[in-house]
Amino acid sequence: MALLAAIAEQGSISAAARHIGISYKAAWDAIDIMNNMAGEPLVLRSTGGHRGGGATLTPKAVELLELYQTYDRLHQRFMSRIGRLMPSVATQMELLQTMIMQTSARNQLPGIVTTIKTGAVNDEIHVDIGQGQIVVASITRESTENLGLREGQKVLAFLKASSIMIGTGDTRNSLSARNQLPGTITDVITGAVNAEVRLELPQGLTVTASITLDSTQRLHLEAGQSAYALFKASSVMIATL
């Protein structure tokens, strides 16, 4: 939310990132996650170069930001009052924070459980992420029970960028990855050894893959190209909402 507020104030993603002390790349990673969670774009970027141009919030983003700011004010009042009544509240809140789920997974895809195939040890969870695209996760039966998973339930499918491979029409058929999501490459960010490839799916969700620079060059990956996000079912983590 601090990033959205900074974009509204500064008028560009690069300026907003500097304003709150994060990198341009980290800002875009956060925007991708928020867009995926919202199911639609929250930030609109105008032309002006890879690290330039302006940015504005969509009406939904403005509404969310205003709601959050109202909630934050009320929360601060509540915490101030409860702190006077319960001096130990700070310690208890720290404990609660450690119990809240945190994840380093770059990709967070919201969806609905459509099928649960129960196995002796592992279960197969099918999650509809929109536009007829299904993400299949293989998790332990114990995890299915602990999460209370059921068909029709809203969940998040988590994926680390390093767990995703990128395939083209010529290469994907030779790979055994259970999940093969078609999309369009929107950005290729190259480093000394690895490259990050952002792929926009038909429903507007974005997935980011971290692959070797050699693979990027060998596949001649570039923005605007059709490609597939490939990943194993065992690489998908499930969280309930």
Residues 76 and 158 in one domain: no
Residues 87 and 131 in one domain: no
Residues 108 and 11 in one domain: no
User: Could you give the number of structural domains in the chain?
Assistant: 2
Residue 78 confidence (pLDDT): 74
Last residue of a domain, one of 46, 65, 100: 100
Band (15; pLDDT cuts 50, 70, 90): very high
Residues 93 and 5 in one domain: yes
Residues 213 and 121 in one domain: yes
Residue 144, classified by CB atoms within 10 Å of its CB into exposed (0-12), middle (13-18) or buried (19+), is buried
Mean pLDDT estimate for the chain: 87
Band (64; pLDDT cuts 50, 70, 90): very high
Residues 131 and 185 in one domain: yes
**What is the percent of the chain where pLDDT is above 70?**
85
Residues 191 and 159 in one domain: yes
- Domain extent at residue 21: 1-100
Last residue of a domain, one of 100, 115, 138: 100
Does 49 score more than 60 pLDDT? no
Sequence-distant (≥ 6) Cβ neighbours of residue 154 within 8 angstroms: 110, 111, 112, 240, 241
Residue 48 confidence (pLDDT): 58
Residues 76 and 19 in one domain: yes
